[in-house]
Amino acid sequence: MVLEKVESVATVPRIRSYVYNLDEQMEGGIPKGFVVLVCGRPGSMKSSLTYFMMHMQALKEGRRGVYFTLEQNRASFARHLSHIGLDPDASDRVTILDVSALRRTFGDRGPKGDTNWLEAIVSQAASFKSQYECEIVAIDSMSALYSLHEFQNPRRELFHFFEGLRALDVTIFLISEMFDPTKEIFARYEVEDFLADAVIHLKVDRRDGGSNLYLGIVKMRETRHSRDYFPLIVEPEGFEIVPH
Amino acid sequence: MSPELEIRLVESMRPLFGDFAESALQQQKAKLGMRHSMGRDEYLRLVEEIKAMCSVIAGPSIADRLYQGLVAIVQEGA
């Protein structure tokens, strides 16, 4: 019985992060089909890390992905990625989809003035998957999405949002900004980390005029993972954590 | 051209334009001064414009894939 359980855990298909030394800390990668919250304060490289993982999956394993950017425009994001050595044109398998441009052109309320953005983004991701066969979806950011959606009952609506995402049967990265520097609140409504299958937390430690990044796996279902925070290094060759 | 043609074009645009697919198509039609009773060549001009718009929001590679699909729909509808 125990042996069977161990085998089933070991055979969960996983998506490698390609962050050097990280996959070893989580049984080889993120379980395929998980909804992953990537959270941190401004400047913690949430978007860059997420795009890096998608970029490497495309280059090394041919997996297609779509990265929805709700506030930063595509050109600006692409320039930023180029500065850290990631060329968005190196692979046509990751599409950066500039929802901010659509918002600027057509307005935030949608064509009929009553767009439910939580449903609309899930529906668009489903439509993208159906036509272009993607396996990874990123939504940047949750705060931007929340600014477009008028919640009546956040807990209930977010439950259905996460279930809708999970039903897509792709691996999802949700980028979540943490605003309160005094608290470890991973997302605005404080239920997102319960609803997500995994939480990756990026910390910025600013002291003595310096700034260091740390990465911690706060939660990852179906995975024996380290709960330590590791120094995160960004090199021209890619991201790397330094194990203890 | 078949009245269903625009419905097929909009559906094909939905993965990239989401809920704004129809608005994007109508906006490009208005920009080109197109009204009812459009012929094949006008639709081909229209999909060129949609490709250019898509290139801005999603990049040239996927815009090209969308364009190929839209052209095929127009050719089938001709």
pLDDT digits (tens, 9 = 90+) for A181-223: 788 889 889 999 999 999 999 999 988 888 899 999 999 999 9
Question: What's the pLDDT at A38?
Answer: 98
Q: What is the pLDDT of residue A179?
A: 84
**Of residues B62 and A1, more confidently modeled:** B62
Query: What confidence tier does A1 reach under pLDDT thresholds 50, 70, 90?
Result: very low
User: CB-hemisphere CA count at 13 Å for A244?
Assistant: 8
Query: What does the DSSP assignment read for B10-78?
Result: HHHHHHHHGGGHHHHHHHHHHHTT--SS--HHHHHHHHHHHHHHHHHHH-HHHHHHHHHHHHHHHHHH-
The nearest CA of chain B is from the CA of A106 a distance in Å of 7
Least confident of A24-38, A71-85, A129-143, B33-47: B33-47
CB contact under 8 A, B15 and A101: no
> pLDDT at residue A7 above 60?
no
Inter-chain CB proximity B19 and A132 less than 8 Å: no
Alpha-carbon gap: B5 to the closest alpha carbon of chain A (Å): 18
Mark yes or no for CB contact B57/A97 under 8 Å.
yes
Buried b (16+ CB within 10 A) or exposed e, A51-73: bbbbbbbbeeeebbbbbbbbbbb
Residue A53 to residues A88, A150, A189, Cα–Cα distance (Å): 12, 31, 26
Q: Give the chain A residue nearest B61 (alpha carbons).
A: A92
What was the pLDDT predicted at A10? Answer: 57
Each residue of A32-74: pLDDT tens digit? 999 999 999 999 999 999 999 999 999 999 999 999 999 999 9
Quote the CA–CA distance of B68 and B47 in Å, as a whole number.
9
Q: What would the pLDDT profile of A112-171 be if each residue is shown by its tens digit? A: 778 899 999 999 999 999 999 999 999 999 999 999 999 999 999 999 999 999 999 999
Strand partners for A29:
none
In angstroms, the separation between the Cα of residue A85 and the nearest Cα of chain B is: 19
Partners of residue B19 in chain A, C-beta under 8 Å: 110-111, 115, 120, 123-124
Structure tokens at A60: 């090394």
Q: Report the pLDDT value the prediction gives residue B1, as an integer from 0 to 100.
A: 62
The pLDDT of residue A211: 87
Greatest CA span in chain A, whole angstroms? 58
Cα A125 to chain centroid distance, Å, stands at 14
**What is the Cα A38 distance to its own chain's centre?**
5
DSSP alpha helices (H): ranges in chain A? 2-10, 46-61, 74-83, 99-106, 117-132, 142-148, 154-167, 192-195
Write the Ramachandran bin of B67: left for phi over 0, alpha for psi from -120 to 50, otherwise beta: alpha
Pick from A105, A109, A116, A170 the residue to mutate for testing the B interface (most B CBs within 10 Å): A105
- In this predicted structure, the answer to whether residue B59 has a pLDDT above a threshold of 70 is yes
Q: What is the mean pLDDT of chain B?
A: 92
